[in-house]
Amino acid sequence: MKVLLIEDEPELRRSIRMYLQQEGFMIESASDFPAAMEKADRYTYDAVLVDITLPKGSGLEVVRKLRVQHPATGIIIISAKDSLDDKILGLDLGADDYLPKPFHLPELVARLRALIRRKQFAGRQAIEWDELRIMPEEKLVEVHGEPLDLTAMQFDLLLFLVANKDRVLSRSAIVEHVWGDLADRLDHDDFLYSHMKNLRKKLTEKGCRDRIQTVYGLGYRFSTKA
Amino acid sequence: MKLLQRTSLYQLALAVPLVVVGTAFAFVLVSTVVREEMDEQLEHQADRVSIDVRNGQRVFSTTAPDVQVAVLPGAIGAPYFQDTVMFNAAENEDLPWRVGYFPVTLNDGSKQTVMVARSLVETKELVAVLALSMTALLALITLGNVVLNRWLSRRLWRPFHRSMEEVQRFHPGSMKPIHLPDTAVDEFTAMNRALGDLMAKLRADFTAQKRFTEHAAHELQTPLAIMQGKLDQLIQSPNLGEQEASVIDGLFQARERMGRTLANMLLLARIGNQQFPPASVDWLAIFTEQRRALEDLIAQRAIHCTIRQDQPCSLRLHPLLADVLVANLLRNAVQHNIPAGTVTVVIGADGFTITNTGPDLSVAPAGLFERFAKGDPASPSTGLGLSMVKEIADQNDLHVAYEQAAGIHTLVVRGR
């Protein structure tokens, strides 16, 4: 998976690049408008992450150009300028998603995976590990070929964990993903705990291995390893 | 008291003594003039009578009832005049007379006195009428002056009142143009110019402050994003002990709270900038959706939450703001509640009411809508929720009323 990261803030660029590389993405980056335009012009990417406020130009311009030249490329706007106008304008221009800063890197990964799945497999691609099979588009989960009945929230939770498999997910990131960015984590710690407990119970009852691990004091991890 | 009433009062306060003194002065003046005239007439008559007296006539009978002439024995040095009262049988009362005594030297050299008297009844009446008309005239002029002044004032002050209304309607956050009336009065022109400048400056300051908030929040988001990224990376490290984990979790919490405060500040600034045009919204759907978001909290606290729609509500608001408004209000009602309490939402045609059980407030209700007002300073809430509600209401002509009585809190949102 080739991803172009257009972000002018060096530290943030470094964090995103490292995190995504560890997730198996191939990252190229651009730090200003001309470099972004040149790369977008010359190469084809599976996805592009673009900041709107760039030195020497606007990320919206990049979105416009990409949409025309590479319609198959997924575009996510990552911007601190989270005004509604920019969001609407960006999506109108053809961006696929909009992620306001500050965001959790696992959230970015989840959105990126969902976007690529939608763009390249029309969402039809199932995610599978041994006995577990998840069909994101249909919102279905099977264990050993048997359908598993999950609530919308449990499904959302499972998909988020799976998108960030083998990584530690902070409770903050999970709460923000499930309950929205205005949710107070302290209010939701207990709920998160009980939802997680129920999800694990449902999975193991059907004979799925207990892949959701609690990382002491920090959060949870979905492990693909035995 | 109005300025106009005050001026009228001062005018009257001046007019009353003026009329009294003026009338008294007029009376004295007229009386004096009339008396002098009268004395002159008496003198003329005495001159005529004196000729007859010298010729030996002693008795004078006049046909006019208001004149009496007599020759008295005895001599006086110089003529003199006197007011006196004589009984009138016909009228059966004492009537005033003016009497003049004049020395006369007869042909034989003996000296006698001629007395001429004229009734003062007529002149007294004349003076009275004169004084009365003077008073009436003075009173009329004064009254007319007051009325004229009131009318003039009302007319002259009209541009002032119009400017006043404009100032009262003024809101620094609003983009409505300022219309101060044109006036031919220099003072008002100067005032309007000063007011116009002041309002423009207020608006500029207000906008600058908003922009500052927006920029500050915006600028802070980049370092926050970096911090978030680093934290997300840090927790992937395989050798974190319990101690490190708890430190990192503290950082996560602080980061989160900062992010929420910033997001709220940004939203507040943007509401103030009127970036959200109102539209009609399905309030029942919004309440239902927001209750769903609070489902866990409601279940945990065993709160009985009911939403009832009597009639579709016609309040207009931007959908995003409607979400924020309802989310904040519902959240407050659930959070500041008692275990197994109730939250009741009733949606009516012209607004909605949220009633909830809950402990008494620790802050005054008026301060509730202030920014950063918190019942509990240690609470992780940003303290911006209700001020957001107020800002949304203010900018969209909604009225929010809050009251509490005996553990029941009621919040009403209506159109203005």
Nearest residue, CB atoms, A80 vs list B221, B233, B380: B221
Residue B255 distance to chain A (closest CA, Å)? 9
**Is A31 within 8 Å of chain B by CB?**
no
Query: Residue B226: its chain A contacts at CB < 8 A?
Result: 9, 11-12, 15
Q: What is the pLDDT of residue B372?
A: 59
Residue A133 sits at φ, ψ, to 5 deg, of: -135, 125
Please determine, for residue B382, whether its predicted confidence score (pLDDT) is greater than 90: no
pLDDT in tens, A30-68: 999 999 999 988 899 999 999 988 889 888 899 999 998
Q: How far apart are CA A224 and CA B51, in angstroms?
A: 156
Question: What stretch of H or E contains A110?
Answer: helix A105-121
CB contact under 8 A, B226 and A179: no
- Position B388, amino acid: M
Backbone angles phi, psi at B99, to 5 degrees: -120, 135
Among the partner residues A18, A170, A184, nearest to B252 by beta-carbon distance: A170
For chain B, state the CA radius of gyration.
48
pLDDT above 70 as % of chain B: 94
Measured CA to CA, the distance from residue B92 to residue B98 in angstroms comes to 19
Which of the residue ranges B97-111, B117-131, B205-219, B380-394 would you say has the lowest mean pLDDT? Answer: B380-394
Q: How far is B315 from chain A (nearest CA, A)?
A: 22
Cβ–Cβ contacts within 10 Å for residue A161, how many? Answer: 25
pLDDT of residue A222: 93
pLDDT band at A226 (very low <50, low <70, confident <90, very high): low
Between CA B358 and CA B364 the distance in angstroms is 15
- Please provide residue B321's backbone torsions phi and psi, each rounded to the nearest 5 degrees: -65, -35
Contact A181 B327 (CB under 8 A): no
Q: Is residue B298 over pLDDT 70?
A: yes
Partner A contacted by B130 (CB < 8 A)? no
Model confidence at A181, in pLDDT bands (50, 70, 90)?
low
Residue B249 touches partner A, C-beta closer than 8 Å = yes
Contact B19, B138 (CB under 8 A): yes
- The residues that bridge with A3 in the sheet, in sequence order, are A27, A47
pLDDT band for position B20 (cuts 50, 70, 90): confident
Question: Can you tell me which residue has the tokens 């009978």?
Answer: B61
pLDDT value at B217 more than 80: no
Q: Does A217 contact B236 at a Cβ distance shorter than 8 Å?
A: no
Predicted pLDDT of residue B383:
62
Strands B93-105, B80-88: pairing is antiparallel
Contacts of A171 in chain B (CB under 8 A): 249, 252
Q: How far apart are CA A120 and CA B346, in angstroms?
A: 47
Categorize the per-residue pLDDT at A18 as very low, low, confident or very high, splitting at 50, 70 and 90: very high
Cα(B119)–Cα(B110) distance, integer angstroms = 30
Residue A102: asked if its preceding bond is cis (omega within 30°), the reply is yes
Q: What is the spatial distance between Cα B406 and Cα B356, in angstroms, rounded to a whole number?
A: 11
Please report how the helices B121-156 and B3-54 are oriented relative to each other, as an axis angle in degrees rounded to 10. 160
pLDDT of residue B389: 87
